[in-house]
Amino acid sequence: MNERHYPCEFCDTTLPQERKQVTIARQRKGQWFIFEDVPAWVCPHCGHRYFDADVLVAMEERMKTMPADARPITAWAISLPQKAG
């Protein structure tokens, strides 16, 4: 199945959502996890991403223990002043 025919809950477009591979950052107990090549349904109008239940379960399972194929990355955490924007 290459299309998902539900209205987007954010922009209400009725365009079919497209299957794509995305990168997603998730946080559990103060630890960040970045998942690459995650299958998602993406709204072609606003870009909102939807995930099938089995994908969400797989990410939850992978966050329980450090997977053998995990690799560390360097990232910077930056706060913006409250008057920004």
Predicted confidence at residue 3, as pLDDT, reads 66
Domains of the chain: 3-64 (3.10.20.860)
Predicted confidence at residue 49, as pLDDT, reads 96
Predicted confidence at residue 84, as pLDDT, reads 60
Query: Considering the entire predicted model, what is its pTM?
Result: 0.78
Predicted confidence at residue 85, as pLDDT, reads 59
Predicted confidence at residue 5, as pLDDT, reads 78
Predicted confidence at residue 22, as pLDDT, reads 97
| Closest CA relative to residue 49, chosen from 67, 32, 26 | 26
Please identify every stretch of the chain with a pLDDT value under 50, giving residue numbers as ranges.
none
> What is the distance between the alpha carbons of residues 77 and 9, in angstroms, rounded to a whole number?
30
Pairing, β 17-28 against β 49-50: unpaired
